[in-house]
Structure 1
């Protein structure tokens, strides 16, 4: 089960005018709990005027090697300022070395286990953060692997982890291909400026690499970019099973299902951390909200159907999900749901958070 622990901030690095990298020191007793796969994320929480605020940020530091039995000594995440953001504003303006933050143990399935082959990513803005961990881990551990990174940013000054990505190009010049597109700034060399939409990607990707030979595609960033990239790849004949997506933010109402009343007297039975319970679901309430009223330790981070932290297996009953931007089709077909977006469609629903 995911758990929160207080971790000290070991470093705060300003990346751009509106983003920082936060590095946490992991004490020896907790390092095994913070072992992570490349591409996973951390949830951070704080209290604002008596209300708990949680936000998820991808780990950009490489994953510990299997031979490292101890686990990571440090973990780094990238944080970009969001207008009016309760946590990102705090991160950029107040967090300093020595502060302690409540940090959840790693979660997420936007991951890549190092293996030989050609891999590629299309990322936008802060979507570079998990992919930086994926690329670094892959190229460091697997000498027979290659990676093509197509990244989109507004300007060079707004590009997160610019030096870190350049360092990868210097370290692995034969195995790492980097292509940068700036939407609001002309480059002296490289591709013309402009947005990476579906039409442009459909023409660009086959010119950059043999699309049919890519073992795994990793799409990360704004909703529009990720959806456009997926449509372009599917039109190019790429199987859905080779496309992996992570969306950092979805506008309220995007692809949202209409709210429908909960059946009268609905009950959710949930198994969590080895213990079970059954509780009434109030009208309009999500299954996660019903569980949280009775089990505050239930896992969640964004409550927006994006991070996947609240994933649970639907043991019995039926639910409807308002939104799903976190689970792969194979996961939903196997019976997994997002508790934060699920509402009971039958009077009895049973979830297993441990499976």
Structure 2
């Protein structure tokens, strides 16, 4: 369910990114209290067209009685309707509709050693994770390995520097720039699998680290995941969130699936069930949206996980999946925006 929230602050971070703060009215405080690492799905109408996007919350997670802090980082995307609007037209006082915070790329503060490998705007949820962890748990430490194009394009420089100043013994920062040499630190270049395999063991005990958080473009996240697997990290300790996927050999679009004759979808959403025919080639999310405009979605690209649903019965095929962990798919969850029926009858439950 979407709620209108007023923009209370806009801060320019770089030439192509801003941080937007949304004010939450008192009656919605508990609805919008986020866990560190979660994101907001926002909705806005631009030139008569409804646009939905997903943006991670960078602010530390708050607890009662403090008001929830909703500050999201937005980077300009070429041709991006909402990011262009946010950077060029959005002003304090405007209203943006937002769903309550969601997402499973989270860390509940606890003692231990944690680390993250991030690229570009992938710093956004990890900033919330690290700042919340270090503030609430004195027996926790955090190592941040971040990659950016140049120093000028690096988001949240001041916030990360503040963590380094406040927690000098518990926060470690390593920065790599792909298009610019640094006076100190790593030589320029991308953080690929080979480079991370050599770098990480010099920073911390890789396999014993309690949790790894990977966030950013697909290539960086996949390379970091492979490096960690090669260094003996257990799969359960690796958490990832993809921020950008380009079509290519690593991200196949998948064929359009021809649905069975007389195929039908039964779906439960907000306690109400319906049954509809599946039109040839459409995704199960598209089937639901023809009758239920309140069906949850944001990116429609298999990245954000907003349309996650439990497959009650039948069989489906997903074109792509960059949002669900293997444990989730093993448990029966699918992405409705990427799912096509393989059997004539399919049932989904969006409420589980």
TM bracket, shorter-chain basis: over 0.9
Structure 1, unaligned runs of 5 or more: none
Structure 1 match to 2:289: 292
- Tell me, yes or no, if the aligned pair for 1:202 and 1:233 is still in contact at 8 Å: yes
- Tell me, yes or no, if the aligned pair for 1:311 and 1:339 is still in contact at 8 Å: yes
Once residues 289 and 140 of structure 2 are traced to their aligned partners in structure 1, the CA distance between those partners, rounded to angstroms, is 43
- 1:218 corresponds, among 204, 213, 216, to 213
- 2:298 corresponds, among 301, 307, 315, to 301
- Tell me, yes or no, if the aligned pair for 1:221 and 1:247 is still in contact at 8 Å: yes
What's the secondary structure of 1:211's corresponding residue? coil
Structure 2, unaligned runs of 5 or more: none
Structure 1 match to 2:275: 278
Once residues 268 and 219 of structure 1 are traced to their aligned partners in structure 2, the CA distance between those partners, rounded to angstroms, is 35
Structure 1 match to 2:35: 37
Structure 2 match to 1:56: 54
- Tell me, yes or no, if the aligned pair for 1:119 and 1:148 is still in contact at 8 Å: yes
What's the secondary structure of 2:207's corresponding residue? helix
Structure 2 match to 1:339: 336
Matched, 1:99 2:99: no
Q: CA 1:277–1:69 in 2, change beyond 3 Å: closer, same or farther?
A: farther
Divergent runs of 4+, >3 A? none
> In the TM superposition, what are the counterparts of 1:1-355 in structure 2 within 5 Å?
3-65=1-63, 68=64, 71-72=67-68, 74-252=69-247, 254-355=251-352
How much has 1:70 moved relative to structure 2? 6.3
Once residues 48 and 263 of structure 2 are traced to their aligned partners in structure 1, the CA distance between those partners, rounded to angstroms, is 30
Once residues 232 and 67 of structure 2 are traced to their aligned partners in structure 1, the CA distance between those partners, rounded to angstroms, is 39
Q: Figure out how many residues of one structure are paired with residues of the other and give that number.
A: 350
Deviates more, 1:76-85 or 1:260-269: 260-269
- Tell me, yes or no, if the aligned pair for 2:208 and 2:233 is still in contact at 8 Å: no
- What's the RMSD between the two structures over aligned residues? 1.0
- Tell me, yes or no, if the aligned pair for 1:32 and 1:70 is still in contact at 8 Å: no
C-alpha deviations, 1:117-155, integer Å up to 9, x for none?
000000000000000000011111111101000000011
Q: CA 1:264–1:71 in 2, change beyond 3 Å: closer, same or farther?
A: farther
- Tell me, yes or no, if the aligned pair for 1:308 and 1:326 is still in contact at 8 Å: yes
What's the secondary structure of 1:214's corresponding residue? coil
What's the secondary structure of 1:38's corresponding residue? coil
What's the secondary structure of 2:312's corresponding residue? strand
